[in-house]
Amino acid sequence: MAGQGRYLASTPPRPDVYVPVPRLRLCAPPTLAELAERGLLSTKPTSGLVPADEWECKNNKYHTGRKPVINYPTNNLLLNLPPLYCTGCKRTNPFAYGWKVPLCTLNHVPLRFLIRNQGEFDTCVAHAILAALDMQRGVDSALFSEAETKQALNILDLFHKYSDVFGVPFSEEHESPHTEHLALHRAACIFFLLQQYGVKYAAPKAATIPRRVLPQHHIALQVLDVFRISSLMLEHIVMLLANGFALVTGLPTGRAFTFTSSGEIYDAGLSDDNHFLVLIGSGVAHYPANPNDGNVLSTSSWPPNPSRRGWGPRLYFSARNSWKDYSHPEAALLGYGGDFNIWADQLAGVDLWGFHLPRPRG
Ligand SMILES: [Zn+2]
The number of CA neighbours under 13 Å toward the Cβ of 111 is 32
Separation of 233 CA from ligand 1 center, angstroms?
A: 20
Separation of 54 CA from ligand 1 center, angstroms?
A: 13
Q: What is the pLDDT tens value at each position of the chain, 362 positions in all?
A: 444 444 554 566 676 788 889 999 999 999 999 999 999 998 876 557 888 899 999 999 999 999 999 999 999 999 999 999 999 999 999 999 999 998 898 988 888 776 666 665 677 888 889 989 989 998 998 888 755 556 788 889 999 999 999 989 988 988 889 999 998 899 999 999 999 999 998 765 555 555 555 444 457 899 999 999 999 999 999 999 999 999 999 877 666 666 666 667 777 766 666 778 889 999 998 876 554 445 444 445 555 555 555 578 889 999 887 665 544 445 455 655 577 888 888 886 678 999 999 887 65
Instruction: Assign 43 to helix, strand or coil.
Output: coil
Separation of 52 CA from ligand 1 center, angstroms?
A: 17
Separation of 133 CA from ligand 1 center, angstroms?
A: 38
- 333-361 per-position pLDDT tens digit: 565 557 788 888 888 667 899 999 988 76
**Between the CA of residue 182 and those of 112, 170, 187, 235, 255, what are the distances in Å?**
32, 10, 9, 31, 25
What's the CA gap between 216 and 222, in Å, rounded? 9
- 154-166 per-position pLDDT tens digit: 889 999 999 999 9
The domain spans of the chain are: 6-13+25-51+66-355
Looking at residue 360, its pLDDT comes to 73
Separation of 68 CA from ligand 1 center, angstroms?
A: 7
What's the CA gap between 206 and 218, in Å, rounded? 9
Looking at residue 276, its pLDDT comes to 81
Q: Which fold has domain 6-13+25-51+66-355?
A: Cathepsin B; Chain A (3.90.70)
What's the CA gap between 293 and 143, in Å, rounded? 42
Q: Please state whether the predicted TM-score (pTM) of the whole model is above 0.75.
A: yes
Separation of 294 CA from ligand 1 center, angstroms?
A: 27
What's the CA gap between 340 and 321, in Å, rounded? 7
Instruction: Assign 155 to helix, strand or coil.
Output: helix
- Helical ranges in the chain per DSSP H: 6-9, 32-38, 124-144, 155-166, 186-196, 234-242, 296-299
Separation of 228 CA from ligand 1 center, angstroms?
A: 30
User: For residue 190, what are the contacts with CB-CB under 8 A and spacing of at least 6?
Assistant: 125, 126, 129, 158, 162
